[in-house]
Structure 1
Amino acid sequence: MSRVTNRTLAGTALSALVFAGLATAVPAHADSSCTVNGDYLRLRQAFGNYITTTTINAKGSSLGPGVVTVPPSGTNGTYGSASGSISGRNIDVRITWNDNKGTAHFTGTIGDDDIARGDSTGTPIPINLWNPGPWYTSEPLNCSTGQGTGQSSAKVVADVDVYNIPDGPGKRQIGTLRAPSVVPLVEPCTFDAFCHVSVPNMDGGNGFAWAPGLLEPA
């Protein structure tokens, strides 16, 4: 089996999904308050230092019809068909893998930080191409909580570290905000937990900073 870099693999896998008809639009559920930002929902599973990424086509709160799972070893992605949705703050999606016709079932809940976490069950794909277990989303979802302040920026009143995700497996520091400064908000923040801030000079261009006592509405 040929080996490629993770960056090349990610681009190839997503391109293949589009050509396979993965971008077919599916009507969003009107009763869903949380939706996916963009065309893909990425679910990560961490087994020690081993992280598998399962990418599912998304349209608002509808999930499917295609999916690819990619391990970090540089092997080719494993493709399948997916069907599911986001209802309120609950995620439910079922997958049938093309190669072994095995199935996977991902269920979970979107937290107050808009990161979804849950568990998956199903048939493992040897050798470590996919295994059932806990998962989390690599990016926050878009949830209409009505709890935001309406502010578009935050004032840094004390130095605060910025992380790629608020919490969970894979959390890592990507930088530090220095006081006094003002940073844009990616989405409304209640300032009583993590705020999603835009920081173009940091890895990924945005991240999560703990607000209480450190950030305030600008």
Structure 2
Amino acid sequence: MSQGTAPSVVVLDHGSGNVRSVVRALEAAGAQVELTADRTRALAADGLVVPGVGAFAATIAQVRAVGGDRIIEQRLAGGRPVLGICVGLQIMFEAGTEHGERAAGLGQWPGEVTRLEAEIVPHMGWNSIEPGEGTRLFDGVEQERFYFVHSYAARSWEMEKIGPLAAPTVTWATHGGDRFIAAVENGALTATQFHPEKSGDAGARLLRNWLGTLRRTTS
């Protein structure tokens, strides 16, 4: 992909760790990438990536502190693509409870993020997924494994189909017998619980798939 046709992507700089690896992975997948919290640039980019590591409450506070909540809402209102990664997926739900502390999320999806009910937590390492029907995100990597690092997850999907709008595509994974949401494709809003930037060739293909939707969106 040439620089002239590469989609522009802003990685939201809200203080999350491991952001440089996300930037590098997106660049390797063919995007022109900028790490910034500048509102104008974040709104103008073809795609916005919201990374997150650590605790739900801390991440949502960081996102709000840089105006990321308003940026995300404005992009989605205009059908402009957003990709959340790890806690960046979790904060799209209504709330998260960690260590007895409940924090409000962005409320893009109903439901709450809670602790995994498995003998071994955190869930750390490679795991297979159950792709949702009609997935575009996992095209070509439906049978691959992805890298997870988390103790909390959205463990149910509560959003009903609304009128003529296409139902979201939900992908699942299981750890220690506990089934949880591994990814969601919901119009302009896409998110993964796993880390594509740490998932080798499969993660690189998934990022290319997402970038491909940006080119179609902005063509």
Q: Give me the TM-score of the superposition, normalised by structure 2.
A: 0.29
Higher helix share goes to which structure?
2
The normalised TM-score by structure 1 is 0.29
**More strand as a share of residues:** 1
Larger Rg: 1
